[in-house]
Structure 1
């Protein structure tokens, strides 16, 4: 056992020495003027290779998501097929006759008199829901068109994740603004009044949020990375800024 352990230790030490020698040799080679340009090219190729690997990783993730969605769709279709087959094999011999209570313009004869019965189940028209504008996700083509100095190490998925979170904040804010005052508690009413105070003549008819809304409705950190993504969203015309009263309003384009 002692001999084996000693051999392992010796091998480990020799391996470390060999690694150090190779490192020193590479460092010395790097100082030669004739090889500096070659090493620079190798470095550039490594950067391009790293970007290519990032793109491949994004593509693999998207294909993985698509595969999972197709699996779920297949399961759903199989369930529907089973239910349809069951219904087909178990059709009841006597089906109920349709009722007449909701038939518009039904004619009823009573003692040689004819009158038109108005439909009893007509419902009052419901109010159309107010639409809340959301920013569309960035497309792959748009992502490719963003300058490299803007993107840095940011990925396509990271940018669209921020778009989705900002949309969540927009929906959360304007649901409160469209809510009747009587149904609000004290906390929601405070938010409602803050939203009204943040409106200006430039934001009339626009959908916008501020940093406080992002913190209220999302888990996003308003940091340097977030502002880098905002630059990309402005470049792709997803948001624009309106400044005033010490506030930056992010308007959905």
Structure 2
């Protein structure tokens, strides 16, 4: 009796398996017939196109996940380094010696004599030739994380905090290079530098008097930045964050450092 039940169950399983195979073959034949139907070919082409787009999107998502994973690992390393530094600082703070060693009398005497000699040399130099104080060149301060978060999304687009500050550094380089030339004596300039010097003077107006500013020609001259739509979007963000303002005139846009 048990053997008959086992044979029956095996036959039922075999029958079910054969029926599943037959159903699968029927579906495959139906799909093949659908693929050969002329009226359905455009739809199948669209489905194939959408599948390719979906495949590309999944690849991009995978790449983005990998990048985020790298950033997460870097942040973990930075966190560990900060915790080590904090522990070392706490250890130093808790173990400050109650009495620091005092300098010997010979050291004090030597330092006093040396200081007096340096003072006399400095005074003699000032008497011989008064030095002009160099005017500090004004630069754009970097955008903070809080400021970046406050920038409207439509202005930021896909721009990152690091990309904006990288452009700020390049703009500062252009400002410094330009005003170093303007602070040089004319006699020490080569012909190309003198031509730049005269261009800088021609671009000054009443609105820029006493201000530090650059134009697009300075960006191209002193940096490798591309003056394109992305660059102008970053300038809009810098204006929004009150890092610069524009003065227009004679078909030139002057970007004044705030």
Q: Shorter-normalised TM-score: what interval?
A: 0.5 to 0.7
Aligned equivalent of 1:219, options 199, 209, 224: 224
2:237 is aligned to 232
Partner SS for 1:133: coil
Note closer, same or farther for the CA distance 1:58–1:185 as it changes in structure 2 (3 Å cut).
farther
Alignment RMSD, CA only? 4.2
Q: 1:62 to 1:102 in 2, by over 3 A?
A: same
What is the CA-CA distance between 1:153 and the residue it aligns to? Answer: 0.6
Change (3 A) 1:127 1:69: farther
1:193 alignment partner, one of 194, 198, 203: 198
Q: Deviations over 1:178-208 (max 9, x none)?
A: 1111111111110000000000001011111
Q: Pick from 200, 208, 217: which aligns with 2:213? A: 208
Q: Could you state the TM-score of these two structures normalised by the residue count of structure 2?
A: 0.56
Partner of 1:129: 134
175 and 144 in structure 1: CA distance in 2 versus 1, 3 angstrom threshold: same
Tell me the equivalent position of 2:246: 241
What is the TM-score normalised by the length of structure 1? 0.58
Structure 1 residues 43-62: aligned runs within 5 Å: 60=72
* Aligned-partner Cα distance in 2 for 1:54–1:147: 27
Structure 2, unpaired ranges of 5+: 1-30, 32-43, 51-57, 86-105
Deviation at 1:130, TM superposition (A): 1.3
Partner of 2:187: 182
1:216/1:250 CA distance change after superposition, 3 Å: same
**Contact in 2 for aligned 1:101/1:121 (Cα 8 Å):** no
Q: Closer, same or farther in 2 for the Cα pair 1:229/1:156, shift >3 Å?
A: same
- Which of 156, 162, 168 does residue 161 from structure 2 map onto? 156
Quick check: which has more Rg, 1 or 2?
2
May I ask how many residue pairs the two structures share in their alignment?
Answer: 178
Provide closer, same or farther for how the CA distance between residues 172 and 122 of structure 1 changes in structure 2, counting only shifts above 3 A.
Answer: closer
Structure 1 pair 213/68, CA: closer, same or farther in 2 (3 Å)? farther
Point out where structure 1 has 5 or more consecutive residues left out of the alignment.
1-16, 18-23, 31-45, 74-93, 105-118
Deviation at residue 228 of structure 1 after TM alignment? 1.0
For residues 60 and 252 of structure 1, the distance between their equivalents in structure 2, rounded to whole angstroms, comes to 35
Q: Secondary structure at the match of 1:219?
A: coil
